Every structure is written in structure tokens, then in C-alpha cells.
A and B are shown apart, each in its own frame.
Chain A
Amino acid sequence: MKHVGVDIGSTTVKVVVLDEQYHILYKYYARHYSKVRTEALQVIKKIRSLLQDEPFTIAITGSAGLGTAKHTGIEFVQEVFATRIAVEHFIPSADVVVELGGEDAKIIFLTGGSEERMNGTCAGGTGAFIDQMATLMNVSVAELDKLSFSHQKIYTIASRCGVFAKSDIQPLLNQGAQKADIAASIYQAVVDQTITGLAQGRRIQGTVAFLGGPLTFLKGLQERFRESLELGDGAIFPDDAQYFIAIGAAMHSVNSPVTTYDDVLHRLTDAAYAKTTIETLPPLFSSKEEYEAFQHSHRTDDVEYDDIATYQGSAYLGIDAGSTTTKMVLITEDHKILHSYYALNAGEPIPIVLEQLKQIYALCEDRISIKGSAVTGYGEDLIKNAFHIDTGLVETMAHFRAAQHFNPDVDFIIDIGGQDMKCFKIRNNVIDSIVLNEACSSGCGSFIETFAKALGYNIQEFTSLALRSSHPVNLGSRCTVFMNSSVKQAQKDGASVEDISAGLAISVIKNALYKVIRANSADDIGKNIVVQGGTFLNDAVLRSFELEVGRKVTRPSIAGLMGAYGCALIAMDHKKEVSSLLNLEQLNNFSHTSQATTCTACTNRCKLTINTFEGGRKFISGNRCERPLGKTEKRVVPNMYEFKLNYLTSFVSQEGRFGKIGIPFALNMYENLPFYHAFLTDLGFEVVLSDVSTRDMYQLGQHTIPSDTVCYPAKLVHGHIENLLQKGLTTIFYPCMPYNYDEKKGDNHYNCPIVAYYPELLHANIGALNHVNYYYPYLSPHDRRAFEKQAFAFFSERYPITKKDVRLATSAAYEAYDAYKEAIHDFGYQTIKYAEANDLDIIVLAGRPYHVDPEVHHGMDKLITSLSLAVISEDALSPVVDKQPSTVVNQWTYHSRLYAAARYIADKDHMHLVQLVSFGCGLDAVTTDEVRSILENEGKIYTQIKIDEINNLGAARIRIRSLLAAIDQLKERKIK
């Protein structure tokens, strides 16, 4: 008897027919373009001749197969289970199976305690992820694979989530990093994710079978796995690896009821044409008239053009070197467009700009003289240096300038580009609130386009389908990864492409409104809204936005060119006799090469890209400070983050009667180290600190992290423990602390659950801690009496100490802690004085104590001081602010400090607050809104920067520069 296995994955459908000995008689592999059920039906029809003569058994598997199986009543087998059946039969020697599919990743441990795992909700896709990345780089997946073989270096790319990885790759592309290196780095990210997210500490060793489409077709990915896991001959890439799940399903079906071809055909036909019930949303247009009215109402927001072939006089050039696209506009003295350009830059903006500039010069002849040029966007610095552009400015200012041109009363601008979303409110002609998307909203714009392509449409077709949709599907709004899997569900339920397209447009808008803007009502947003960015050229997106906010908005016809247009207008504002822009002759001699390297001047280890232009002109990008640029002389601006780090790493340890004791220098130790260092030293220990965090250290401990959505500071502790173990320590101290010091600024003084109990998690997850003395008692330094009792109870059980010893050590501990607090406060006071004397502005880089860890803030402090701003932390200010009521539960010590610092600066013109928020910090969902409202009530601008393992300061730089630009504007107005 024959056995049939049907594997319907997220992107493909695979079918195999096996004989009794499990030999493959037939196999089929195709993308289903979300037409799951009809595709399944088509395949079955294809193999009629093979099946119609005798009865057979059949089973369905795969993430998108569930619905089909339910509807048809055909046996369903979970795909990991199916994989296991097939592997146990065909590769009996396998110890581990790694299977990467379109969106799911799975690992099966067959020996040494059997276990199956799938990626968590946040782990993003794998096959689909690689597809997305290839699109981003404008190469086919096959080309990407080929490229990866000629790599010379690997960049660290966040591996947790596709959206994050994208945010890492984009700047690399823009900085001119080699495509080959990026290709290999993308693969490495997939490998890292498998090791950490999936295996979570279990070693992938022995004989490992690699299955699934990506691992079958992508040789470069195979290579990265083989190398990273050091498997040698143990790595098996079987033939037909993409069919293994289907084979497993066929084998599983042996035990299910025997059926016939006609029966299966009948059931599948039924399913293919069945109406399904899925939750849908109201259509974008309820009638044709409505659509026409919509079309009509947006015709007015046009811009005028002039003929470049006949125009005579001055012109101004604007360039928007965006993340995925390059836009250029040349305008006349009266704001008319002479020439415009919009194209994907495929990660290489320089050749595109070069080509366009040459063309523009050719078109201008001698009639037109360019009197000013300005550039903005991710590639601002590179383009400015390459072509000697007159002015460089932050994107937000460019967009504001352009929006004002179309609607002088504009009070709200939202720009959705390929990668980023930017929203800002305008009050009194000044940008007073800037919101940029976080990683979770990244890539919404290009997502629609990528998706259109994946479904086999171009963006115009895809958009027009959306407009015709009668029941848009609800695809959620958390992030593109989640939307991706919602689409999968919709496909499973048989939703049409029209409805998916409309659903995507709605989702992107909901993401913008609820996640980025956090709008409560239309009035909350503004009365004169200008929407722009390439994504808004999609009518479905525009319509969704209008429906959601309930009012008509202005979409300039050049929505995609607004950045460039704004630049051109600003170039005109700053007009000169002659622009510094390279002339035609210089352009003809132009050359550009780039080389990647790592800066060794400090521990940040910035990945630099050295761009060399004709005549040896150089431009270095990727740096956080001036040091790699060879400028040794720089103004020393007070930097409390640096001060704190130096203070904490400068404790001297002495030999003690009880030997060495290790402390992980992470998380709350950034607050409590002075206390415990003094306490343990006085008690008779030689305190050994783990090294300052690095990315390498993180990777050292990555495999023992049980929850991939916990914050990065917590994840780092795993590396610190490994670091201490490597140092040969046999005693490690890391206490549980549910309560922090009581600074009397709130109703209680908790730590967050992570800071409080992470030591217990470490004990349960790092096996090596069972073989050393790992001390993680509950201690509460907020109550001296209790602390002494706890400490005595704990240490006297293990060491010959007296109550007096503990009392003296405790005194030393409190003294050391008080001295530290004093030093912080003092430094803050000195900074304020220094800033006043030198006319500097101060940024309160507010967060939590462990944000001082350079691997956590990624050099944010230096980025700020490089802009000539002093940096202090929130706890420098909080001691001088009295307890005040708040609209939230104020019962965490770290939070109380944030609120106090916000109140302190609320009426200070020269102090501004930037809040650092770790991704995954649930409690900061509480603090961010509260800090924002404290500041905004006093007319201050609130800036929030989310940080994670992503090592990309590009977005942070935009935010801080936007803040500075807005502050400058405010000051100018005050002077006037």
C-alpha cells in the first residue's frame, strides 16, 4: 500500500508518496502563495494516476495544514513529530535534528534525554527572514548564498528577531560595508538564534541532521552551521531534506484509516471551496462613490513643476539618503520642481547619487546654477563628505520644513518610510514632540512591498487589490514578524489576497497609531495632519489612516520625496553664491572604495567603515567618538556614565582569610557593588569582579538564557557568571534583593522581579553553579538591622565569623555606599556648575543604574558628549527632590528616581531628559508614560531611546539630533 504525506508550511507545500518500504515514488515542492487549499487540491489532482488504482493512507502536517486537516477530516500530525518519525527511520545515528522552515525553527534532541522545541513567539522567521534580507539587499536568495562564500568578516547582527536584524543590517549597508560580509553575517545570525533561542543551553553535538528548505538549498548557511557548531563529519545534510516532514507524515499515516483517491479528492475539493469564518474588518470603501470622493479629495495637494530644459536661473538641490531609498529633488527659486528622482538604493547610495548628479549637471547646462545643497537621512554623513554637500541636517527638520510648505498650519506630521516611522507634533511652529518607531515597528513600510513580491505581485497591483477588498483580515499590530504569522493564519483560513493586502495596510497604520504615536483620539494627534513617506503613496494605507483617525489628512503628491524637498527648501534658506557641491569635472574623477575595520581606541570596539575617495580623501563612519578620526584634542565634557563606570571598576581588593569571592558586575551590582564590595572585603574575602561586559561575554553565556524576551541587562549576567567561572572562582556571590534602598521618594521601594530574583534563575540554569559555592541569599540592605541578621545567619553557617564581624562589615558597607551616593551627587552638582559656566546644555540620561554598562548603552553617553552636551544620570538629581504624588503606583526605587529627576529638570531651560529603556522592560511601560507626562506638563520635550543587544546608534543619533534641533528652535523663538 502507498502512503501519502502532505506538508503545508508557511510558504510552501510539499507532497510525497511512499511505497511500503518507504521509498519515495513521487515528490513535489512548490510555493503556495497563500492559496493553501487550492494548491493542495491541485497537487492531489496531479498524482491521480499514481493513487487512483488502489487504496492508500494519507496524513497532513505543517503549520498551515492544520485548518485543511480539520476541514477535511484527514489525519493531522504535528510537524516536529513527523520530522522525528522520518529521522528515526532514515538517519538512525542522529543525535540532534535542526529543522528550519519558512517561519518556524525546530530542534529535536534524540539522544541523552529526548526533547523537542520550537521557536518562541518572538523568535521571528528563518526562511522568510532570509528572503526579507535578500530583498533588502536587492539580491536573489541564490545570489545572497553565493555572496556569503567570499566574506572576510562577520558583523554582529541581532539574532533574536528578524525586525531587529534588519535594523542592524540597514546601517551597515548604508555605511558601505561589503555585501559578502553582510550575507555571511545574516547566516551567522540565523545560526546564533538556533543555538541560543532554540537549543537554550543544550549543546548541539554528535551527529546532527539539518532539514528544511533553507538548510537544503543554502550552502552558505550549511557552512556557517558546520563551522559554528564545530561538527566536522557529524553534520548531515541529507538528500530530500526539504521533504522530511512530508515523509514523516506519510509514515505516520500507516496507522490511520485507509482511504481512496476519490474520497480524498472529494474532501479537498470541499475544503478548497468552503466558506470560512474568520474575523474580518470593515472594508476600506463601502461604495464606488466613496472611493471616487476619496480620490478626488487628494488631488489638490500637488506641487508645481518647471521644465529643466528651458528654466534659467538659480536652483537648489535636496538629497534624502534614506535607509532603503535615495531621493533627490532640484527646485527653482519659486519652489517648483525641476527634477526629481526616487529609487531603491540597494544599499549603495553613492553610485546612485553620483549618477544622478552627473545627469543633473548635464540637464542644467549653463542655464541653471546650483546655489545650495542639503542632505539628510541615514546616509547623510557619507553623502555629505563624498560630494561636499553644503548642509547636512537631521531628517525630522527636513520633513518639517517640507510639510510646512504644504500646510503652514501643520501641527502633526507622520512619515512612514521603508524602515522607519517618524511622527512629530508641532506647537507654536516648533517641533515639540518627536516619536520615532522602536524596533517593533521597524520595517512596516517595506514589509508590504516584500509581501507583495512574495505573493507574486508588484506593489501597485497589490495596492489596487486592497482597495477592492470587502473583508480585510485582522493581522494584529505588534510587529511585522507577528503580522507575518497572522497572515499565515489568514492563509490557513483561506483569506483572499485582496483581504490580506487591505489587512496589511490597516495593520501598518494601527502599528503606527497605537504602538508608535500612542494616540488616544484623533484630537490627540492634531487638526492639520500631513502624512508623507513612500508608504503613504499606497492609497490603501492612506485610506486606513484616515479611517482610523477619523479625519481627512494632507498627503502631498510628492509624499515619497518630502525629505529631499525639505532639504532643497533648506538649501535655499541657506543659499550661497556658489554651492560647495562637487562640479562635473570633479564628479568625472570621482572614485570610492570602502573597507571595514574595527576601532581599537577603547572598549566600545566600534565597527568602522573607511571610505576612500579620489585623491585619498577619507571618510570614516561607524564611530561613536572622534578618536578614530585622529583628532586627539577634544573638549572634555562632563560624563557621569564614564565617571560611574570608573568609580565602580576602581575598587581595590585585598587578600582575605576566606579566600576569593566573585561578584558578577552586572544588573543591580551597578547599584550595590560599593556596598557588597566593602562588606565582603571587611568580612575577610578577596573580592573578584567579573570583567566589564562585552558582546563576546554575552555570547559566552547566551546558551543558558531560558527566556529570550527578558531584558538584555539580565541576559548579560549569564556571561558574567561564565566569566567568573573562567577566572577559576569557586565561590560566587549574587544575592536576591526583592527590595532596594528606601530613599523615601515613593510608596514602597521594590526592585523589579528580574533584579530581585535573577540569582535564582541563574542557579537553575547554569549547571556549573552546582559545582561551586554559589551564594544567593535573600538580603535587604534597606533595613540595616534585618540585613545584619540575614548576613550573620547566612555567613556564620559557612564561615567562622561573629556577630561583631558582621556588624563591622555592615558599617563599612553602608559607609562605602553613602560615599558612592555622595560622589554621584557631587559630580552632578559640579556638572551643573560647569555647564552654567561654559554655556553647555545637560542631558539627563535617565534609566536604571545598570544602564551605565557600556554594553547595555552601546556608547550612548559618548554619542551625546560628542555633540557637546554634558551627561548626568537620574540619581544625581533625585536626592534633592521631595516625594510627590504620581498618577501611577510609585513603589520601585529606580522609578522614583526617574520621576524625581524629571520633576527636577522640568523648569530648567538647559537640562533635557533622554530616557533609556531596555527592550522587554515591562515596568518601563509604566515609567515612560509617567516621565513623559511630567515633562510635557511643563512644556519640555520627552525623548525615549530603546536599547537592546542591537548595536546601532543611528536611530539614537537621529533622536538626539532632533531633540537638539528642536531645542535650538525653541531657544531662537525665546530670543525673538
Chain B
Amino acid sequence: MATLRYDKTGRLLFTKEMKKEYTLLMPMMLPIHFGFFEEIFKLHGYRAVILDTTGQDIIDEGLRSVHNDFCYPALLTTGQLLHALKSGEYDINKTALVMSQTGGGCRASNYIHIIRKALKNQNLEHVPVISFNLVGIEKNPGFKMTPKIVAQLTYAVVYGDLLMWLSNQTRPYEKNIGDTDKLLAHWMNAIKKEIRRSKSFLPKAANKKFIQIAKDFQAIDRTEEERIKVGVVGEIYIKYAALGNNNLEEFLHNEGVEVVMPPLLDFALYSLNNVIVDSRIYHKGYLRAAIVKWLFQFLYSLQDKVNTAITHHSDFRPMQSFERIKELVKGYVDTGNKMGEGWLLTAEMLELIDAGIYNIICTQPFGCLPNHIVGKGMIRRIKQNHPEANIVAIDFDPGATKINQENRIKLMLATARRNMQSHSAPTFALGGGK
């Protein structure tokens, strides 16, 4: 068995030896994307497992192990990891945990320490916790983010985004129920297979695949019926993870709504963009910014390719270009606002409105600090400038009840329906100043 080794500060390291023997557990956020991530990690010799567990036990575990004033994502991810450790499915002497870390000014950069504290309290200190980040915090000899892995993960994000983006646009309209999910499963398998097959997975044929995916989804038999479109923005985990948002996507789908989930790549572009903006504001880090700029361009060109595939080979709505998003947020918050989702959150609301999607759910963990500013704090101004915007802010929390959340979303949907009707048949006028 691998020996436990520590660094100078006393942090338990994940060693090369461990890489061979240990199973790596990671919390789930986006099923499509994270499914690909799992394959990539396996490709590089990690026994990675993305946890798709759900249920009250996870929340209870989180409540027990995390300071209850901490935000809900911390509670859920820690809960999910600890719950898995205790499930008996994994050998606790041969398991490590992986958690993402941004190093930003939001308290989320503390998640990793919260997990360690929880482990310590439950006498599981021997379980290594690996910080998954791209900025070089907490290095581990057995877990290295090589350029290759980063590039592959990037492609995985792009594929994931495209599949999520298109399937959301076909699912509510498909004539044969299940077509979308069948196609989605087909492509997820195909991409996973490709990951497994080729060590390189820097697909030259990626562009071809983008086009093929667009064509395949275009081929799904769909109704012409007009549906209400609802955009979901917010704190990244709560926005995406079904465990965090009480299966929000499923709820909306059952309400007959087309859900619009902003792509994950935007968050990556946002993170890179912050480095560039920082060098401008704080007058330093120019070299780093130059390198990041190059990376940014690479990602940006990928997004561009995907969008070209969508617009040329299907009639689906393309994703908003990141440069456009940046443009939209002017006059609201500065792009120097970088804690948590920062300016991107405000921008996501604006890009939805820009694309004609006026109904928006702004999700956040109860008491989320950055969202006070960039979420709830900007809604008033957005509504002033876009009276057609129909935004509801929903807090998520272990104590918040689904009924309260659903009732508020239903109110938003009722307004959306009325707006849609009055749009198509303007029989009764709304409002009108006095």
C-alpha cells in the first residue's frame, strides 16, 4: 500500500504510488461534460469516479460536516464525497477526493479545506484531497494537469456544451418522445469511445464532428409549436447541478418549457479573461496575461467553430459569442468584477435578453456573497433597461422548500405565458404609465 507523504505545511500529498492504487472521487456537476472528464482521467491512468449519487443522506452528511452558514454547494459537494466514502463501496484506504479550486476572492476557494476539516473530524485524515485547478495551487506529485489533459478537457467542455445546447433545443419539441435523449446517448458514447481509443484526443476531425452533431440534431422530427424559453443563470454549481437546484431542469421541462443553459466554456473564457483584465487594472502580470491571451484565443476560436457549425448546418439558435457578452455588460459591472461568477452572471442575463429569451431564473445558494452584487444587485437595472425582462431570483439551501421555489418559478412562468399571449395577440395592453 502507498505510504502517506506530507508536504512542508503538513498537507497530505497524492503520490505517484497512489495514482496506481487509488480511486479518485469527484462530485458531479454536469452529467454530459463530467462524463467525458471521467473518461479523460481514466485515459491518463486515474481511476476516476464521478459521483452521481443523490438523496437526503447527502444533504444530512453535509449538514453534519460543514459549518451551516457556509454556502450550499460546499455542503452538497462535501456531503456527496463523504457519503460516498462511508458507503462501503470504496476502500477508504485507497481512495482520494478531488475538488475544484479557483483561488479567487469568493469563499468557494475554501471548499478544499472544508472537506479536509470534515475528514479530520471523522477520522478520515488519511484520505488525500486533491485540488483541481489550473493556476498551480497545492501541487501533488501524483496528479498533474499536463497541457495534454487540459487540452482534452477543453475539447470535452466544447463537446459537452454543444450537446447540452442542442439537446435543450430539441427535447421540448421532439415529435417522438425520447429521440433527443437517444441521440444524446449515441453521441456521448461516440465521444467517450474516441477518448478511450486515441491517446491524443486532439481531434483534427473535431470540426467535422461539430457539423455532424448539428446535422443529427437538425434531423430530429420537431413540432412548430411555440414554447416558453427560460434561461437559467447563477452560481455555477447551483445553476448546473441537479442535486443543487432540486432538479430544476427536469421541473422546467415538465412545465413544457425550453430550458436555456449557458455553456460551460463561457466560464472558462471568463476565468482566462480575468487574468487579462487584471493585468490592465493592476498594471502587472503582463507576461502571464500574454500567455493567457493566447489560450483565450484558442478557446474562443473553438467556440466560433461550434457556432459556425450550428448556424451553417442547422436552424438552431447559436451560442452568444464571448466578445458580444463582454460588450453587453458595459454600464452594469466592470469586467474587473471577478469573484465567484462575477460579471459573467450579469452578462449571462443580458445575453439571454439579447437573444430574445426574456424569462430568466437567477439561481444562487442562500446568502451567496458575489450574487448579492452581480445577481440580485443588477436585476433592477436590467429591468429598467429591458422592461420585457421577466427575472426571478431563487435561493437554494438545505432548509429552502421546493414548494416555495416552485411557486415563485410558477409565478415567473405565468407572467411568461401572459407575455407570450399578449405578444402574439395584443388584445389587452399591460401597464401604461399613469
Contacts and interface: CB of A to CB of B under 8 A. Distances in A.
Given A118-B411, A760-B377, 8 more contacts: A78-B411, A112-B434, A121-B400, A201-B380, A478-B68, A736-B334, A887-B113, A926-B67
A885 B431 contact: no
Nearest to A516: B68
A485 B400 CA distance: 8
Contact of A922 (B64, B71, B116, B378): B71
Nearest to B398: A476
B113 A121 contact: no
Interface of A: 63-64, 66-67, 76-81, 95, 104, 110-116, 118, 120-122, 200-201, 206, 279, 474, 476-479, 482-483, 485-486, 488-489, 492, 510, 514-515, 518, 520-521, 524, 706-707, 709-710, 714, 736, 738-739, 748, 750-754, 756-758, 760-761, 764-765, 778, 780, 783, 785-786, 789-790, 885, 887-889, 891-892, 920, 922-926, 928-929
A709 B113 CA distance: 25
Nearest to B278: A738
Interface stretch (B139-147, B218-226, B264-272, B362-370): B362-370
A758 B333 CA distance: 10
Given A111-B434, A709-B366, A279 B56 contact: yes
Given A476-B398, A482-B401, A764-B380, A520 B431 contact: no
B57 to A, nearest CB: 10
Given A485-B401, A761-B377, A78 B369 contact: no
B334 A889 contact: no
A477 B399 contact: yes
B380 A706 contact: yes
Contacts of B71: 922
Contact of A764 (B107, B381, B418, B430): B381
Contacts of A888: 110, 113
Contacts of B431: 110-114
Contacts of B406: 66
B107 A925 contact: yes
A753 B283 CA distance: 21
The 9 closest A-B pairs by CB, nearest first: A478-B399, A482-B399, A750-B105, A476-B399, A925-B69, A761-B377, A764-B381, A81-B414, A520-B121
Interface residues of B toward A: which range?
Answer: 35 or more
B318 interface: no
A885 B411 contact: no
Given A510-B63, A709-B372, A920 B380 contact: no
Interface string B406-434: 11101101110010000000000011111
Contact of A757 (B122, B368, B373, B398): B373
Nearest to B377: A761
B63 A889 contact: no
B282 A783 contact: yes
Interface in B338-393: 338-340, 366-374, 376-381, 383, 387, 393
A920 B365 CA distance: 12
Contacts, number: 226
Nearest to B410: A78
A485 B67 contact: no
A124 B433 CA distance: 32
Contacts of B407: 63, 66, 78-79, 104, 118
Contacts of A780: 281-282
Residue among A80, A479, A492, A926 with most chain B CB within 10 A: A926
A709 B339 contact: no
B410 A887 contact: no
Given A753-B370, A783-B282, A923-B107, A760 B334 contact: yes
Contacts of B432: 111
10 contacts: A118-B407, A200-B380, A201-B380, A486-B401, A706-B379, A753-B105, A757-B337, A757-B339, A778-B334, A887-B116
A520 B338 CA distance: 34
B9 interface: yes
B147 to A, nearest CB: 26
A757 to B, nearest CB: 5
A482 B336 CA distance: 36
Contact of B366 (A66, A122, A753): A122
Nearest to B404: A485
B67 A764 contact: no
A754 B399 contact: no
B103 to A, nearest CB: 8
Interface in B97-143: 103, 105-107, 109-110, 113, 116-117, 121-122
Contacts of B65: 520
A521 B67 CA distance: 14
Contacts of B401: 476, 482, 485-486, 488-489
Contacts of A78: 407, 410-411, 413-414
Contacts of A738: 105, 336-339
B332 to A, nearest CB: 6
Nearest to A483: B399
A81 B70 contact: no
B281 A765 contact: no
Nearest to B336: A778
B395 interface: yes
A889 B110 CA distance: 6
Given A111-B431, A753-B106, A922 B68 contact: no
Interface in B1-55: 9-10
B330 interface: no
A115 B383 contact: yes
B284 interface: yes
A121 B410 CA distance: 15
Nearest to A765: B380
A116 B411 contact: yes
B373 A761 contact: yes
Contact of A753 (B103, B339, B403): B339
B64 A760 contact: no
A125 to B, nearest CB: 12
B122 A63 contact: no
Contact of A929 (B117, B334, B376): B117
Nearest to A790: B281
A892 B410 CA distance: 40
Contacts of A714: 372
A203 to B, nearest CB: 12
Given A709-B367, A765-B377, A515 B372 contact: no
A887 B113 CA distance: 7
B397 interface: yes
Contacts of B288: none
B402 interface: yes
A433 to B, nearest CB: 16
B366 A752 contact: no
A524 B283 CA distance: 50
A520 B406 CA distance: 33
Contact of B367 (A514, A520, A920): A920
Contacts of A760: 332-334, 337, 373, 377
A922 B367 contact: yes
Interface string B255-287: 000000000000000000000000001111000
Contacts of A706: 372, 376-377, 379-380
Nearest to A757: B373
B125 to A, nearest CB: 12
A750 B336 CA distance: 13
Given A778-B281, A888-B113, A925-B69, A81 B106 contact: no
A756 B105 contact: yes
A121 B380 contact: no
Nearest to B113: A888
A789 B281 CA distance: 9
Contacts of B340: 753
B109 to A, nearest CB: 5
A477 B75 CA distance: 14
A114 B387 CA distance: 9
Nearest to B415: A116
B357 to A, nearest CB: 19
A485 B403 contact: yes
